[in-house]
Amino acid sequence: MNAHFTPVASLVGGVLIGVSATTMLVLDGKIAGISGIVTGMSEPRRGDFGWRALFVLGLLVGGLIFLWLRPSAIGAASPSLVRIAIAGVLVGVGTQLSGGCTSGHGVCGLSRLSPRSMVATGTFMLAAGLTTYVVMHVLGGGA
């Protein structure tokens, strides 16, 4: 078994994400899809900006808590800056075209049994797996 395997911590983390998605939906009626919440701030409409900004502020405060108490939880990406920029563009364009990311399609959409989210999640998991395979085993190496 892999030395980095953390089933308990990861399950706890997953439960917290599920609780977050649930409070957003049951109380505020919003889908906790990160790409949608953040990008929606670029076209501010009355009554629709503040909650997005507060959610993102919560994300950043959560990050600061880790930075303060457990900095090892936040790792840096090792690939070259060129590859990182290309990946950022692909993720930006891709999440908008498909209308969601790991949270919106993968957690919220799958929980609703949304057919669109099932197709999206299956597709991006497969694409990500194949990409990682090519990078690691065909091109030979992480960095």
Partner 1 sequence: MSASVAHSPAVSTVPAAPTSRLFGVIAFASGLVFALGLGFGGMLQPSKVLGFLDVAGDWDPSLAFVMGGAIGVHFFFARRSLKAPKPLLATSFSWPTAKRIDVPLALGATLFGVGWGLVGYCPGPAIVSIVSAAPSALLFTATMLGTSVVTRRVMSHLRGKEGPSSKTLADVA
Q: What part of residues 35-54 is at the interface with partner 1 (CB under 8 A)?
A: 35, 38-39, 41-47, 49-52, 54
> Does 14 sit near partner 1 (CB under 8 A)?
yes
> Does 143 sit near partner 1 (CB under 8 A)?
no
Which parts of 69-108 interact with partner 1 (CB under 8 A)? 70-71, 73-79, 81, 83-103, 105-108
Which parts of 120-139 interact with partner 1 (CB under 8 A)? 120-121, 123-133, 135-137
- Kind and range of the H or E element at 116? helix 115-133
Q: Which residues of 49-80 are buried (b: 16+ CB within 10 A; e: fewer)?
A: eeebeebeeeeeeeeeeeeeeeeeeeeeeeee
